[in-house]
Amino acid sequence: MSMRKVAVVGAGMTKFVRRAQETPKELSWQASRMALQSCELTMDDIEAVCLGTAPDAFDGVHMNGEYLSDGAGAWRKPYMRSYVGGGTGVFVPIQGWYHVASGLFDVVLVLAEEKMSSFYPHAQAAFLTIFDHTTERALKPNLLWIFALEMNRYMTTYGISKEDIARVSVLHKHNAAKHPCALLGDADITVEDVLNSETLAWPVQRLDVSPVSDGAVAIILAAEHIAKRITDKPVWIEGVGWSLDTAYWTNRDLVYPRYVEYAARQAYEMAGITEPRKQIHIAEPYDPFDYKALHHLEGLQLAERGKAVELYISGAAALDGDMPVCPSGGLLGVGNPIAAAGLMKIAELFWQLRGEAGDRQVAGAPRRGVAQAWGDLMQVGTVVIMGR
Amino acid sequence: MTVKIKEFPGTSLSEKDFDEGKILFNYDELKGEFAWDTGIAIGSYLAALKEGLILGAACYTCHKIVTPPRTVCEWCFDPMDEYIPLLDTGVVNTFSLCYVTWDVQRIEQPEIPAVIMLDGASSLDSGPIMGGIMHKLGEVKPEKVHIGMRVKAVWKPAEEREGSVTDILYFKPIEN
Ligand SMILES: [Zn+2]
C-alpha cells in the first residue's frame, strides 16, 4: 500500500467544563483557532476539515455537522462529519489521516466538539435512544446498566476487587490535577473516597464515572513535506485501526473487548509494532469508567487478560512508571465531552511526545504512544499510534 | 501545550448563574413520535412472546442459535429464517443493582438489570456467542443475586400480553 507519511503539527483545546457559556460553534472556533496559532497557520492553509461530534440528541440540533461548520472553518472547503459514537474522537483523526495519506490533501484541520449540558435535565436521558427501540427500550434501560453489567462481568470473572479498580480513578484524577483544562482533577483523592461515593448502579459508584462535559479539541495534520516546513518536531501518525463488533451486545461475553483487539492489531501492523508492551511508551486508553481503562489496556495487548490492574498496583501506570497510562488525566479527570475527549487523548500524545506536557510530562523521553476510544453500544474500537 | 500555552478558552457556568438570571437562554421541547415496524424477525419474536414463548434464530451452516431473532447470520451473511422456541429458563451472565432510573431519578429499592443466557441457545462454550438477552430480575433480595444463578421467566397472564418484551415481567431464581 502506497501511503504518504502524515504528521500532527499543531493542537488546541478549550477547558472542559460542566457547562460552558460558549455555544458549540464558539467552542469549536476557539479550539480550531488555537490549533492553527500553535503552528502559525491560518485558515487559508487548510485544504479540508474533518469534524467529529457524537449524538445529535445532546445538542437537540439535527445535522450538527452543518450547525458547527462555521466554527469549524469549513465553508467553501471539503468538509465531512464522522460519527462512531464514543469512538468518534479517535476516529476523526483517522479520517483526517487518510485524507492526507491518500495524497488528496496536504493540510487538514481535525476538530471534535461536544456540548452535553444543553440537554435537560440531564444528558443521561438522551442515551435511552441508543438502545434497540423494540427489544430493549421497553425495559427503560439506563446507560449505567450496560457499564455496570460489563464491569460486574469483568471483575467477577477475574476476581478483581473494587478497591483495586478504584486505583484507576485515583491515578487519572491525580494526573488531571496537572492539566490546565481539567474539570475533575484532584491531587488529594483517595481509593476510600471512590469507595465511599454514591452507588449509582452497583458495582458502579459516582467516582468510578467520568463527568458529562462541554468542550472542544482541534489538531492540524500535514503531509511530510509540509510538516517539516511547519515544525522541527512533527509527531507522526504511525498506525491506525478501527473495528466494529456485533451490535447484539448481549450475545457477546462482555469480559473482553474483542473489537479493541482487532483495531489495535490493525494499527500495530501498520506501525510495524510486534511487541506492544515494549514498543509503546504511553497509553491513553478510553476511560469513561475506571474499569474501562483496564478493559481497554487488555484489548490493546498492553496487559494480559485480567491483569491490567497490576500496572496500577505496581506503579507502572504512573507518570514516572514504565507504562504511563492516561497522563492527561483521561476522561475521568479532564472530563468527557464525548468526541472532544477522544481527540484530547491525541492532543495529549502530541504534547507528551514533543516534551511539552509541563507538570504531566512522563519520564524517559517517550518515542511512541497509543490512543484509543470506544463507542456505540460497546462495540466500536478506534486506535491511533503516534511516534516521533 | 501546555508548556507553551498559558491561556485556555472556555467559560464555566454554574447552575446558580441560571437560577439568578445572569444567563440568557432559549428553552424548548422537541417532540417526536414514532411507530416502528417490527419487521420479520422481531415481529415473529414479539408474536411468540404473546404466546409465552421466546424465539431464537438458527443458522445451521454456522451451528448457531441466537436471540433476539434476526434475518441475517452475522457470520456467513446467509438468511437466518428458521425461528425456534428456546426455554424460558437460563443463567445470569451478569447483573447490576441500579439505584437510578433512566432519567436519573434516585430510587430506594434497586432495579436489577441482567444479561440472561437462555437455555436452548448457543453458549459461550460453543464459540464467541451466547443466547443472552437483557431483562430484569425479581422476587429476589438484591444481596442474593449472583452470576451463574439459574433463573426462570415470570410471564404476564396470557390475556394481558401484548407482544412486547415486557410480556415477561422479570426473571426469578429457580428454587433448588
Ligand atoms: Zn451462518
d(CA A213, CA A61): 17
- List A242's β-bridge partners, or say none: A382
CB pair distance less than 8 Å for A134 and B42: yes
Residue predicted with more confidence, B23 or A298:
A298
In what helix (H) or strand (E) does residue A170 lie, and over which residues does it extend? Answer: helix A162-176
- Considering only CB atoms, B100 lies closest to which of A20, A142, A150, namely A142
Q: Which residue of B has its CA nearest to A58?
A: B30
The reported pLDDT for the residue numbered B63 is 86
Averaged pLDDT of chain B: 90
Using pLDDT thresholds of 50, 70 and 90, give the confidence band for residue A153. Answer: very high
- Considering only CB atoms, B102 lies closest to which of A140, A152, A253, namely A140
Which CATH fold topology does A6-120+211-387 show?
A: Peroxisomal Thiolase; Chain A, domain 1 (3.40.47)
The reported pLDDT for the residue numbered B27 is 85
Q: What does the pLDDT look like over A219-233, one tens digit per residue?
A: 999 999 999 999 999
Residue to substitute from B2, B5, B13, B135, interface A, most A β-carbons within 10 A? B2
Rounded mean pLDDT of B103-117?
Answer: 92
Please report how many Cα atoms fall inside a 13 Å half-sphere around the Cα of residue A161, on the Cβ side. 9
Query: Of the candidates A244, A328, A315, which has an alpha carbon nearest to the alpha carbon of residue A287?
Result: A328
Please compute Rg for chain B using Cα positions.
Answer: 23
Averaged pLDDT of chain A: 95
Q: Which amino acid is present at B35?
A: A
Rounded mean pLDDT of A275-283?
Answer: 98
Rounded mean pLDDT of A117-137?
Answer: 82
CB pair distance less than 8 Å for B14 and A144: no
Is the pTM above the cut of 0.90? yes
Q: How many Å is the maximal CA-CA distance in chain B? A: 70
Q: What is the dihedral of CA A328, A287, A182, A217, to 10 degrees?
A: 80
- Considering only CB atoms, B30 lies closest to which of A60, A141, A150, namely A60
Is residue A187 predicted with pLDDT exceeding 80? yes
Rounded mean pLDDT of A304-321?
Answer: 98
Rounded mean pLDDT of B61-74?
Answer: 91
Rounded mean pLDDT of B110-133?
Answer: 82
The reported pLDDT for the residue numbered B104 is 77
Q: What does the pLDDT look like over B144-157, one tens digit per residue?
A: 999 999 999 999 99
CB pair distance less than 8 Å for B132 and A250: yes
The reported pLDDT for the residue numbered B112 is 97
The percent of residues above 90 in pLDDT, for chain A, comes to 85
Rounded mean pLDDT of A349-369?
Answer: 96
The reported pLDDT for the residue numbered A237 is 98
The reported pLDDT for the residue numbered B79 is 94
Query: Of the candidates A342, A337, A348, A375, which has an alpha carbon nearest to the alpha carbon of residue A24?
Result: A337
The reported pLDDT for the residue numbered A376 is 80
Residue to substitute from A131, A184, A251, A319, interface B, most B β-carbons within 10 A? A251
Residue with cell 479540508: A48
Q: Which residue of B has its CA nearest to A152?
A: B94
- Considering only CB atoms, A124 lies closest to which of B27, B46, B104, namely B104
Does A134 lie at the interface with B, CB-CB under 8 angstroms?
yes
Is residue A110 predicted with pLDDT exceeding 80? yes
CA distances from A295 to A200, B27, B92 (A): 20, 40, 21
* Cis before A285 (ω within 30): no
- Considering only CB atoms, B2 lies closest to which of A31, A121, A180, namely A180
Q: Mind giving me the DSSP string for A259-291?
A: HHHHHHHHHHHHHT-S-HHHH--EEE---SBHH
CB pair distance less than 8 Å for B131 and A150: no
| Weakest-pLDDT range from A46-60, A349-363, B18-32, B159-173 | B18-32
Question: Which of chain B's residues have a Cβ under 8 Å away from the Cβ of A121?
Answer: 103-104
Within 10 angstroms of residue A202's Cβ, the number of other Cβ atoms is: 20
The reported pLDDT for the residue numbered A13 is 98
Is residue B129 predicted with pLDDT exceeding 70? no
d(CA A144, CA A127): 10
CB pair distance less than 8 Å for B100 and A22: no
d(CA A71, CA B90): 52
- Considering only CB atoms, A246 lies closest to which of B68, B74, B147, namely B74
Rounded mean pLDDT of A260-275?
Answer: 98
The reported pLDDT for the residue numbered A377 is 77
Does B4 lie at the interface with A, CB-CB under 8 angstroms?
yes
Q: What does the pLDDT look like over A164-184, one tens digit per residue?
A: 999 999 999 999 999 999 999
Give the start-end residues of each E strand in A250-367: 282-284
Is residue B119 predicted with pLDDT exceeding 70? yes
Q: How many residues does chain A have?
A: 388
Question: Which of chain B's residues have a Cβ under 8 Å away from the Cβ of A252?
Answer: 128-130, 132
Question: Which of chain A's residues have a Cβ under 8 Å away from the Cβ of B104?
Answer: 121-122, 124-125, 142
Using pLDDT thresholds of 50, 70 and 90, give the confidence band for residue A104. Answer: very high
CB pair distance less than 8 Å for B4 and A246: no
Rounded mean pLDDT of A296-320?
Answer: 98
Q: Residues lining ligand 1 (ion), CB within 5 A? A: B 59, 61-62, 73, 75-76
The percent of residues above 90 in pLDDT, for chain B, comes to 66
Within 10 angstroms of residue A75's Cβ, the number of other Cβ atoms is: 10
3-state secondary structure of B10: coil
Q: What does the pLDDT look like over A15-43, one tens digit per residue?
A: 999 999 999 999 999 999 999 999 999 99
Query: Of the candidates A377, A385, A379, which has an alpha carbon nearest to the alpha carbon of residue A264?
Result: A385
In what helix (H) or strand (E) does residue A176 lie, and over which residues does it extend? Answer: helix A162-176
Rounded mean pLDDT of B32-39?
Answer: 90
Q: What does the pLDDT look like over A245-256, one tens digit per residue?
A: 998 989 988 999
d(CA B176, CA B170): 19
Q: Which residue of B has its CA nearest to A360?
A: B2
The reported pLDDT for the residue numbered B2 is 64
The reported pLDDT for the residue numbered A143 is 84
Residue predicted with more confidence, A93 or B14:
A93
